[in-house]
Amino acid sequence: MKTSDAAMACPDNKTAADLMAILPDTAQVVDGHLHIDDVDMVALAREAGTAVYVMSEPHIRKQLQDYRKWMSYHWDDVDIVYAGKAFLSKAMARLVADCGCSLDVSSGGELAIARAADFPPERIYAHGNNKTTAELAECLDAGIGYIVVDSFEELDRISKLASQRGMEQTVLLRITPGIAADTHDYIRTGAEDSKFGFGLNQGLALRAVRRALELPGITYGGLHMHIGSQIYALHSFAAAIEVMVEFMLQIRDELGVDTCLLNTGGGLGVAYGVPDDPATIKDYGKVVVDGIKEACEARGLATPRIAVEPGRSVVANAGVTLYTVGTIKEIPNIRTYVSVDGGMTDNIRTSLYQAHYEAFIANKADQPRSTLATIAGKHCESGDIVVSNGPLQSAEVGDILCVPATGAYCQSLSSNYNKQVRPGVIWTADGAWRWVVRRESYDDLLRCDVG
């Protein structure tokens, strides 16, 4: 069940101890303060400053290890491809490599971070519906493993660039399986009307495979799909897998080619609110791996190498954002605004598509959320809201406010609106903390301004 605003329209008297399902695995309440990895979040916030993203390194590592464990439980030939768009830094790229996983990049900038971290290029997958010629050249020159192709124009560009270099580039063809996943319209990507991939109607996808087989400089490596993000209903994945394996059969029968790799994308949902109940990685792995194996066996196909691309489910609950309460404004009979030193520049998801978040006061973590408050940002927009009319402890100016489940897509989507400097990212582990992305300064804002 997904969290509804109606379910959160009254104080719930929960303490931080009741919110552990949406916090890092290592979170606990000690002497009234929130601790993560034995680090006091209140002391950290007052030393490092706010707003700030804090992420648990052990939590991230465990999620990647769980994906490797449960995806390979029934089939050895599986590749876990972390989706860098969720959160990427040099430290994150190194952690992904250390866990034996691959990396999905969606821009030249993400590729540049991966290369700066010395990520093994053969384990990089490049995505994007409109990769520029320069970005494709960067991928080829870096020697990455796979380019996920999104259009006929892109096939031609890769062929030309690879031929000029006297090389072969392995590609996956992104297919839109026509499955309308159970998620928000803005993060649904696998339906027929999508800017991504080749549709199966009118034989477009089969034409793309044929074209990839014919063009010089290109090796057909397999297929890719992605039906959306924040998906709770595993039957959406099962339905898409049936479509993709049937297409693999068509490719074999009509083109005489076996598909050696099937990448099913990502999209597993996470818990943002207490009532949220997403599927486990174990259950997801069973649906994907067993689904592909059974569908292939039913059609007389060999089971291909399987790849998945988790992002949000690796880092979302590993992270929290810490703010300092600045002003409190009570509007009688309407609502109470608790304003913090951040907002839509560090978390645009609420404004963008009404994403739901919880909040609590980290220095009152053992106290019940006995009031209702709207957590407002500091920016010049009425829609600059982090949490709308949610339960909160009684707030005071100077309190350290914590918003859980912000490890995915918050830092990645952050901006400099109102010329706000972006928060830094802190990782915690074993009772210590360190910066992995420093906080921006005014000098950073001015660095590209040439006057």
Q: Which residues of 368-385 are buried (b: 16+ CB within 10 A; e: fewer)?
A: bbeebbbbbbbbeeeebb
**Tokens 């062929």, residue located:** 159
Give the list of residues 6+ apart from residue 184 with CB closer than 8 angstroms, or none.
230, 353
Asked whether the beta carbons of 258 and 305 are under 8 A apart, the reply is no
**Tokens 């693999």, residue located:** 248
- 3-state secondary structure string, 118-137? CCCHHHEEECCCCCCHHHHH
CA distance 129 to 413: 18
Evaluated on CA atoms 113, 119, 121, 123, the torsion sign reads: negative
Catalytic residue among 139, 260, 380, 410: 380
Asked whether the beta carbons of 337 and 325 are under 8 A apart, the reply is no
Tokens of 343: 């907002």
* Residue 402 annotated to the active site: no
Rg (CA), the chain: 23
CA distance 391 to 8: 7
How would you classify the pairing of strands 78-83 and 33-36? unpaired
Task: Point out which residues pair with 137 in neighbouring strands.
Answer: none
- Which residues are annotated as catalytic? 380
